[in-house]
Amino acid sequence: MSTTPTAHALHRAARIEDAVNEFVARRLCRRGWRPLILAYTGYGASAWARVMARVVLTPPDPRPGRRPAKVRGWRSFTARPVNGASVVIEAGGRRHEALADRGGYVDCVVDGDDFTPGWATVRLRVEGAEPVQASVRVVDPAVRFGILSDIDDTVMVTALPRPLLAAWNTFVLDEHARAAVPGMAVLFERLTTARAGAPMFYLSTGAWNVAPALTRFLSRHLYPPGPLLLTDWGPTKDRWFRSGREHKRSTLARLAREFPHVRWLLVGDDGQHDQEIYADFAAAHPENVAAVAIRRLSPTQAVLAGGLPTAANTDRSAGPGGQPWVCAPDGAGLWRLLREAGVV
């Protein structure tokens, strides 16, 4: 894990956020609130695993038998983080310790004794909290093909780039009201079946706060399970807001370092910056890109996404590194074009 920056090195907005969190956390602890570990799906290889989780405060003795309310996005952003919590991680026969960062997040790589390819589990413990288990997708060293997909407007219709609609979708809308993009779940299921052992990753500029809702959405719409690669919410140590594009670029570069033998099918849409980001990555790492599949938004969706309708891109072309580059409005069209291009 990276070293926690000193207080004077933090951006003013981050210092204000930390002060508010510390004040609220002290009051909640006096009222009996206790730590809770939110475990996220991690990933790794035979000898290591990336473990991701968050430590937050939860109220004591929730009312038993109470029917859960509809899940609104704003609830995900009211959790109080536990800054600096000491987390014990038991993984692959070894014991590790990690400290949660200023947002309560744990994101670290731990060593293990021969993780079995497929799905593994690690155990996380924090003093005063119930231990939890986190799933880890262990990539087989023999695997040479993987799938990495954007989420917003690629697998789920969100109209994210437009600020007002983004706020509505994130903070107000019931998660059950979100719509799945036609054919994308079937596309990913066919791809993971055709390429046995291929890992499925989901990359988004969304905040970790909505990870539970996204996981439920993907499961409910029968998307293959896989790690979510999200980002923190709110001020960072050096700026008011995080950079979504930089998050995607750095994550792609990290995966190239961690799995140099894997060639990725990059799936996105033409409503944000996916095409630009994927093109840059394909040019810099042609050996790590098998193909690029872009879901083409309809004119109405393009307007809702904050842009203007554009002329239809060519269905098939070559990417910067010579890789197949296909565009279609839905999963069925992308599957047909990927098969014609010899990707599957």
Confidence at residue 5, expressed as pLDDT on a 0 to 100 scale: 47
Q: Enumerate the CATH 2.60.40.10 domain ranges in the chain, comma separated.
A: 7-138
Average pLDDT across the chain, whole number: 81
- In CATH terms, is domain 145-340 a member of 3.90.740.10? no
pLDDT per residue as tens digits for the range 162-176: 555 555 555 555 666
What is the distance of C-alpha 1 from the center of its chain? 18
Give SS3 for 82.
coil
pTM: 0.83
Q: Enumerate the CATH 3.40.50.1000 domain ranges in the chain, comma separated.
A: 145-340
Find the DSSP H helices in the chain: 12-30, 163-167, 184-194, 211-220, 244-258, 274-284, 299-304, 331-340
Is residue 30 exposed (0-12), middle (13-18) or buried (19+ Cβ within 10 Å)? exposed
- List of the chain residues with pLDDT < 70: 1-32, 61-79, 159-177, 233-243, 298-314
Confidence at residue 1, expressed as pLDDT on a 0 to 100 scale: 41
Closest to 278 measured CA to CA, from 221, 235, 323: 323
pLDDT per residue as tens digits for the range 201-218: 999 988 888 888 889 999
The CATH class for the domain spanning 7-138 reads mainly beta
Q: Is the dihedral of CA 308, 311, 312, 316 positive or negative?
A: negative
